Amino acid sequence: MAQGNEKTRYALADVAEPNLYRDIYPYTELPRVVFEEQAAPMIPAKDVWITDTTFRDGQQARPPYTPEQILRIFDLLHQIDGGTGLIRQCEFFLYADRDRKAIEL
């Protein structure tokens, strides 16, 4: 155990195949939460809805959307919802004139 300014050194193992933990992160299901070697059962809520942040947090990793792109994505989200109320709200940053223009379209 390292004390004070001492650094613990670990040996790097060069492996042929990564351990992707497919028992916890399967490709076909939601990730499982494991407690003491047992998977916790998934009990989804009766009502599920989406608060979309595509136009807020989703933009931080890429160049800003144009007003026309925002309108197109919003229209696609509206189609996905299909009047079901699944998508409860979309959140927007309104910092620049470009952002305000998108809301006015």
Look at residue 26 and tell me if it is in a domain. Answer: no
Mean pLDDT by 10 residues, the chain (105 residues): 74 91 90 77 86 80 86 92 90 83 86
38: in domain: no
Task: Answer yes or no: is 95 within a domain.
Answer: yes
Domain residues for 63?
43-104
pLDDT given for residue 6 in this prediction: 81
Q: Are strands 87-90 and 34-35 parallel, antiparallel or unpaired?
A: unpaired
**Does residue 27 lie within any of the structural domains?**
no
Residue 12 belongs to some domain of the structure: no
At residue 36, the 3 state secondary structure works out as coil
How many domains is the chain built from? 1
Cα dist from 6 to 2, 3, 10, whole Å: 5, 6, 13
Residue 22 backbone class (left: φ over 0; alpha: ψ -120 to 50; beta: rest): alpha
In a domain, 18, yes or no: no
